[in-house]
Amino acid sequence: MPDRQTAQQINSGAIHILRALRVVDRRAGLTAARLSALSVLVFGGPHSLGGLAAAEDVTSPTMTRIVDGLEREGLARRRALSGPGRPVEVSATARGRRLMERAARRRLDALETAIDRLPAADQRRLRAAAPVLEQLAGHLRSE
């Protein structure tokens, strides 16, 4: 039987954690949309423009503008592919990878610091719950 209170607590916790991490992400100097798209390219590899738009759940014109900004900053590059419809592949540059890796380190450092402030028993419970949260995220992605 679903537990509404648990669902509400997880929802609230996720929102508050993501808001706090968004503040950490600002130090990267990119908009949230650009940082998110760059993350897909760095950790997921090159994508077609349409594939990147789908991964980020935005329209192709919106992703075109995001990639334009990443290109202007030297963080991503486009490469024309052969085939019908003039397909384009987008990939992260070395500079983009370095920026994303620093941003990811800052996020992890912030999370580790916050976890370290919890009592030891709560840290153990959180460690045990982390794989379950990953599994939960997988179920949500498949819906």
- For residue 124, being part of any structural domain is answered with yes
- For residue 106, being part of any structural domain is answered with yes
For position 47, which CATH number holds? 1.10.10.10
Angular region, 109: left φ>0, alpha ψ -120 to 50, beta rest: alpha
- For residue 1, being part of any structural domain is answered with no
Single pTM value for the model:
0.86
- For residue 105, being part of any structural domain is answered with yes
pLDDT band at residue 2, thresholds of 50, 70 and 90?
A: low
Count CA within 13 A, CB hemisphere, residue 122.
6
Q: Residue 49 and residue 58: Cα distance in Å, rounded?
A: 11
Domain that holds residue 30: 13-141
- Residue 87 has a pLDDT of 82
- For residue 122, being part of any structural domain is answered with yes
Q: Residue 122 and residue 128: Cα distance in Å, rounded?
A: 10
- For residue 63, being part of any structural domain is answered with yes
For residue range 51-89, list pLDDT tens digits in order.
999 999 999 999 999 999 999 999 999 998 877 777 889
Q: Residue 83 and residue 96: Cα distance in Å, rounded?
A: 27
- For residue 7, being part of any structural domain is answered with no
Q: Averaged over 105-110, what is the pLDDT? A: 97
Do residues 41 and 90 lie in contact, with contact meaning Cβ atoms separated by under 8 Å? yes
- Number of independent structural domains in the chain: 1
- For residue 119, being part of any structural domain is answered with yes
**Strand arrangement of the beta sheet that strand 76-80 belongs to:** 47-48, 88-92, 76-80
Instruction: Spell out the SS3 assignment of 62-115.
Output: HHHHHHHHHHHCCCEEEEECCCCCCCEEEEECHHHHHHHHHHHHHHHHHHHHHH
